[in-house]
Amino acid sequence: MLVLDNVALGFGGAPLFAPLSLTIKGGDIALLTAPSGAGKSTLLRWICGMPTNGLTGDGHVSLNGRPLNSVAVEKRRIGMMFQEPLMFPHLTVADNLGFGLTRGGSAAQRRDIIARQLERVGMAGFEERDPMTLSGGQKARVALIRSLLAEPEALLLDEPFSGLDDVIRDDFAQLVREEIKARKLPVVMVSHDPRDRDYADHPAIPLSSPDQVV
């Protein structure tokens, strides 16, 4: 379970949105909506523990009963998919995925895990491909695998389906939902696209404008 308790973020004393409290059960996708520039991505970075210059934050975040505010980003066990899949262009698909794998096991075991995960998403045999030759949908699938290989306890999605055509978008969204349900991950997805409401488990939650701060 991922819990946000009275979270308020801002820059230079100017709040981004009204304080937010949210509880997400394992396997559920909560959708936060707001126009571009309203602080959606900044909120995800704060939940992950990623530093943002000039950002001030109040409130608390916990995961499965574990307070996270003072926990380093690499120890929070939170995965994140960005709007643009981040790839190391000088590495193969397999080497990019290797960054998501938890340490341990032989090289052969790690190769086998990567191969099985690629096959699972319809990309068998892509291990040695240059990531820059992949389509948008293929890059998104690689980004999803890499996030899940790290065995996160929660997942954050930043406009994960933007830039995909309608057919690929729906197929990929269903894949994401299947993985979330199978792993019972609490998920926060942020978007300004009304189509993403179809993929959430609850009514969309708007980030309230900062003029509602009291």
Residue 114 structure tokens: 């990567």
Gap between the Cα atoms of 44 and 41, Å rounded: 5
Which residues 6+ apart lie within 8 Å of 38 measured at CB?
A: 16, 17, 207, 209
- For the stretch 72-100, pLDDT in tens is 999 999 999 988 788 888 999 999 999 87
- CB atoms near residue 85 (< 10 Å): 21
- For the stretch 30-49, pLDDT in tens is 999 988 778 999 999 999 99
Residue 102 reports pLDDT greater than 80: no
pTM over 0.75: yes
pLDDT of residue 179: 93
Over range 90-119, report the average pLDDT: 88
- For the stretch 143-155, pLDDT in tens is 999 999 999 999 9
- CB atoms near residue 163 (< 10 Å): 15
Q: Which domains are present in the chain?
A: 2-212 (3.40.50.300)
Residue 104 reports pLDDT greater than 80: no
The answer to whether 5 and 61 have CB atoms below 8 angstroms apart is yes
Mean pLDDT of the chain: 91
- CB atoms near residue 159 (< 10 Å): 19
- CB atoms near residue 99 (< 10 Å): 12
Residue 69 reports pLDDT greater than 70: yes
Residue 102 structure tokens: 């938890």
Q: Return the CA Rg of the chain.
A: 17
